[in-house]
Amino acid sequence: MPLMYPELGPAHQVYEVWIQFTSSEDTWVDISETVDLKAQALAQHKSQVGEDEVKMVRQWALEAGRNLAPAEGFKVMYLVRRDDPKRAPKAES
């Protein structure tokens, strides 16, 4: 299938998809530096979210980080094998 906008270059290739809120997380990201900002942003939705929910965001992050650091868990689905040479960035000429 030809590209709709060939002047923009080749189509983006998706190599992995990160899915949140699964029962089979295999990757965790430390959100220590952003958990406060996340809670503040959530608190702005006053008609939908109360103080208890904002507190729960912090608690869930601590639980995901095994009480060491706030974290978020993801299940990472690899669409191309990690060692596949097609996944390596191409050198620019």
**93 pLDDT above the threshold of 70:** no
Tell me the pLDDT tens digit for each residue of 13-69: 888 999 999 999 999 999 999 999 999 998 999 888 888 888 888 888 988 888 788
Q: Which two tokens stand for residue 68?
A: 């060491």
**Count of C-beta atoms within a 10 Å radius of residue 1:** 4
Calculate mean pLDDT across residues 3-21.
Answer: 89
Tell me the pLDDT tens digit for each residue of 38-49: 999 989 998 888
Number of H helices, E strands in the chain: 2, 3
DSSP state at residue 85: G
**Count of C-beta atoms within a 10 Å radius of residue 81:** 10
